[in-house]
Amino acid sequence: MEFLKDGSIRLDKVVNKLDKFVLDFVKVLKKHTNYVIVSGYVSILFGRSRATEDVDLIAPRMEKKAFLRLYKDLMKKFECLNSSKPDELYKEYLGNKIAIRFSKKGKPIPNIEFKFAKTSIDNEALKEKFLARIGRSELIISSLELQIAFKEIVLGSDKDLEDAEHLKTLFEKRLNMKKLEHYRKVLSR
Amino acid sequence: MNKWFDKEQNQKERMEFVRQWAKYVREHPDKEWSEQQKALIDSQM
């Protein structure tokens, strides 16, 4: 793991099936919109010893036409588990702040839980981000301090607390503790 | 505490391993820890 001057992190990891799935999805997604990866997969990308069935991803709200273009492009390799009607997905799901799930065709696990930013914390996640470089590929990851605080304060299950502990131990000397405390306070309100 | 299972103790032990593994990841080349992670994740996919 190498910390580069531009704030990104280079990983020289052996890519697992989950990493490959996420990289494949993002390869299509990034042609259409900005995004950020949040929650459990952040810890897994950086070595946590567990798998997951879903990868949480936030994108800024998109115009319907742009979403339809993204949907059409994604459908070449992926399927949506909620509905095969893109108009319905846009209006009834994303329009009502409900996340939608995309998986490889015929394989519901793993899947990407895709949602538009809806809270100030979602927007903060989109703003405070960094690049993880894996070979020639890149993933946009939310601030580690925000992910740790969110897992500790908002989610709080055993699994989430372990994810947070993994990131805190791994990045012990790299974390901005003031920023982490700030997020803890904001999320406790 | 449950008579059959000490949940609190189990959580402590799990957390201790999480720290131990995170230190291993920090102190070893990516290829070394990620081979092990890949074996675990790929077997579950």
| A131: in domain | no
Question: Mean pLDDT of residues grouped by 10 in chain A (189 residues)?
Answer: 95 97 98 97 97 97 98 98 98 96 97 97 97 96 97 96 98 96 96
Contact A162 B14 (CB under 8 A): yes
| A134: in domain | no
Q: Most distant CA pair in chain A: distance in Å?
A: 47
| A149: in domain | no
Q: What domain count does chain A have? A: 1
Range of the domain at A101: 15-119
Residues 6+ apart with CB under 8 A from A40: A48, A52, A55, A56, A159, A160, A163
As a whole-number percent, the residues of chain B with pLDDT over 90 amount to 73
Contact A51 B18 (CB under 8 A): no
Burial of A179: CB neighbours in 10 Å, binned 0-12, 13-18, 19+: middle
Query: What CATH number has the domain bearing residue A28?
Result: 3.30.460
Burial of A76: CB neighbours in 10 Å, binned 0-12, 13-18, 19+: exposed
Helices A158-170, B7-27: crossing angle, 10 deg rounding: 30
Q: Which residue of B has its CA nearest to A170?
A: B22
| A46: in domain | yes
| A99: in domain | yes
Closest CA to A187 of A143, A139, A129, A140: A143
Query: How many Å lie between the alpha carbon of A172 and the closest alpha carbon of chain B?
Result: 10
Query: How many Å lie between the alpha carbon of A164 and the closest alpha carbon of chain B?
Result: 10
| A163: in domain | no
| A54: in domain | yes
The confidence score (pLDDT) of residue B1 equals 66
Query: How many Å lie between the alpha carbon of B17 and the closest alpha carbon of chain A?
Result: 10
| A64: in domain | yes
Q: What is the pTM of this model?
A: 0.95
Q: What is the average per-residue pLDDT within B18-41?
A: 98
Amino acid (1-letter code) at residue B18? V
The pLDDT confidence band at residue B2, using thresholds 50, 70 and 90, is confident
